[in-house]
Amino acid sequence: MDVKIQLKIKSAKEFQDRGNTLHAIQIYRSLIDEFPGVPEPYILLADIYQSMGQSRGAENVIRVIYEAQPDDYETALYFSQFLMQNENWKKAIDLLKGLNSAEPFAEYLTGYCYYRLEENELANNHLLNFVKSDEEPELIHEAYFILAKIGFELQNYEDALKHAKKAELIFNDEWELYLIYAKIYYKFKMFNHSYDSIKKAIKINGNKLVLHKWAGKINLKLDNFSIAKEHFMKYINLKDQITSEDYTYLAGACLLSDDINNALFYFDSALKTDAENKRAIKGREKVLKMIEDNAASDF
C-alpha cells in the first residue's frame, strides 16, 4: 500500500480514537477520491458508518468498491461478512457463491447463513465441506456445534451426537451444547443420560426457560414427578406468555405427584387458554373422577 495512504489511515484512526469521528470520515473520503481503486478506505469508512448505526450508508460505501472490483477476494469477503452482520443472509449467500471454491472459510460463512435461514440441509452440506477441509481450526469446533444443532433438527441423532462430542472440546461451558445432548439422549430414550446433561446445562445457566421445560419432561420419564413439577413451575414463573401446553405439562406433573387441587387448577388454566386442548380436557376429566372417587370413599 502507498506510504501516503498508510499515513493518512493512521491519522484517521488517531482522530477516531480521540472521538473526532467527523475528521476521520473526511480523511477516508479524501482517500477514496484520490485513490478510488484502493479498498481499505472504503472498508474503514463503512466500519465507521456501521458503528454509528448507519448500516444503509455503510452498505452503499462498500458496494461501490465491490462493484468496481468484484473479483477481489478480500473485498468480497468483507462485504459478505458485513451483510451477515446486518442479517442480510440471502444477499450474503449470493455474494459468497463465487467464493466457495476459493476458500473453506467461505464455505463456513455460507453454511452459517443457511443455518440462520433454517435451511438445514443446505447448511449441513456446506458446514460438512468446511470441517472436511481441516482448515481454519479456530472455527472447526464452532462448525461442529452448529452441525450438532442441525443434526437434531434433521432427526439425524447419531450424527448430532458425534458432532456435539467434537464441539465439546471447546464449548464445554456452553449451556446450549448440554441441552443438545439432553435432547438427543431423550430421543434415544436414555433418560438418565438426558437428565445428567440437562443438569449440567442448568448449572451453567439456570435462567434459561427452555432448560426447565426439558428438565420437567425428562423427569416425567424418570417418574420423578415432584422434581418435574418444580421445573415446570419454574418454567411458567419465568415465562412471559404461557401457552395451554405449558399449563398442561405442569398440570400433568401435579397429577402424577398426587397434587390434585393444583392439577385441576392448571388443567383449568390450560383450557382457558385453549378450550380445544384435548390433553387438558382428558386430564381434567381424570382429576374430577379422582376427586369424586375420593369424596365417595369418605362415606
CA atoms within 13 A on the CB side of 170: 13
Ordered alpha helix ranges (H), 117-207 = 120-133, 137-153, 157-167, 175-187, 191-204
**Grid cell digits, residue 211:** 432448560
CA atoms within 13 A on the CB side of 243: 6
**Grid cell digits, residue 289:** 373422577
Return the axis-axis angle of helices 89-96 and 104-116, rounded to nearest 10°.
150
CA atoms within 13 A on the CB side of 151: 24
In 3D space, the residue among 77, 52, 53 whose CA is nearest the CA of residue 66 turns out to be 77
Q: Domains of the chain by range and CATH?
A: 1-69 (1.25.40.10)
- Evaluate whether 179 touches 148 at the Cβ level (below 8 Å): no
Phi, psi for residue 136 in degrees, rounded to 5: 50, 60
Distance of CA 84 to the CA centre of its chain: 14
- Evaluate whether 238 touches 209 at the Cβ level (below 8 Å): yes
How far, in Å, CA of 209 to CA of 226, rounded?
18
Give 233's contacts (C-beta < 8 A, 6+ positions apart).
250
**Grid cell digits, residue 189:** 430414550
Alpha-carbon separation of residue 164 from 157, 158, 197 (angstroms) = 10, 10, 12
User: Could you list the pLDDT tens digit for every one of the 299 residues in the chain?
Assistant: 678 888 888 888 888 888 888 999 999 899 999 888 888 999 999 999 988 889 899 999 999 999 898 888 888 889 999 999 999 999 999 999 877 655 889 999 999 999 999 999 999 999 999 998 877 788 999 999 999 999 999 999 999 999 999 999 999 999 999 999 999 999 999 999 999 999 999 999 999 999 999 999 999 999 999 999 999 999 998 888 999 999 999 999 999 999 999 999 999 999 999 999 999 999 999 999 888 877 666 55
| Maximum Cα–Cα distance across the chain | 100
CB atoms within 10 A of CB 128: 17
SS3 state of residue 99? coil
